[in-house]
Amino acid sequence: MVEILTEGEYEYMLAAGKIVAEVLTAMRTAVKPGVSTLELDKLAYDIILSHNATPSFLNYGTPPFPGSICASVNDAVVHGIPSSKVILKDGDIISVDVGAYINGYHGDAARTFAVGNVDKKVLLLIERTKQSFFEGLKYCREGYRVGDISHAVQEYAESFGYGVVKPLTGHGIGHNLHQDPDVPNYGRAGRGHRITNGMGICVEPMINLGTDDVVMLDDEWTIATADGKPSAHYENTILITANGPILTTIEEDANV
Ligand code: MG
């Protein structure tokens, strides 16, 4: 079932999203060579708890996810488990995905950060993955369909020869972290669920430098590229409103 939020509920979605944005802002500074992904997880946990919110990802799913963030380094696409053994080094990239739950509503967003000096073609991958989100955002308005968003993301990303990850999708969000409808990063324009005001959705392109093939690692969570090449991720929680889309999770200093 697709949840339609009332205007009175928007402020709760905004409150959850604001906490997520604060974590992302803190991550941008904290990500550097020598830092472990477990340290980043602790930082996110502390920020979320300081607002009397709950980390949406902690203990989510089966087996229960053990972190407050997903920390996916280099060829890890999504769902990387924070670890004291994963220490960032110059030239890495890391995708941080984080969710916060407060007053019955969730916010969920992801960014990929460069660690120190990163290869130009990988920096371009990060930038274009972000832009593919904004290509999809153009269709996050009442009257369009989910397929319009999906198609826009896919067309932009594939124009550079990148692999668009298909088994994992964006999703509806509101009272639940993941709810209807699925929002794939590929598809046909004019198809799929109709977008209406009051919907909360997460658009989250996962884009590979190489092929779109992915594998699950033995930890039963981490999804990695099959060819070992890097992958980038960009996500925001979007409220569809009569005044256009609102990104609840965008950082205050973001230039959008
Ligand atoms: Mg998500």
Alpha helix ranges (H) inside 33-74: 37-50
Cα of 109 from ligand 1 centre, angstroms:
6
- Write down the architecture of domain 7-247 according to CATH: Alpha-Beta Complex (3.90)
- If you measure from the C-alpha of residue 204 to the centroid of ligand 1, how many angstroms do you get, rounded to a whole number? 6
At 48-99, the pLDDT tens digits run 999 999 999 999 999 999 999 999 999 999 999 999 999 999 999 999 999 9
Laid out side by side, the sheet with 170-172 consists of 179-183, 170-172, 200-203, 236-241, 244-247
Q: For 180-236, how does the pLDDT look when each residue is reduced to its tens digit (9 = 90+)?
A: 999 999 999 999 999 999 999 999 999 999 999 999 999 999 999 999 999 999 999
Closest C-alpha to 28, from 81, 98, 77, 131 = 98
Q: Where are the domains of the chain?
A: 7-247
**How far, in Å, is the centroid of ligand 1 from the Cα of 178?**
7
User: Cβ(73)–Cβ(88) under 8 Å?
Assistant: yes
CA distance 167 to 118: 28
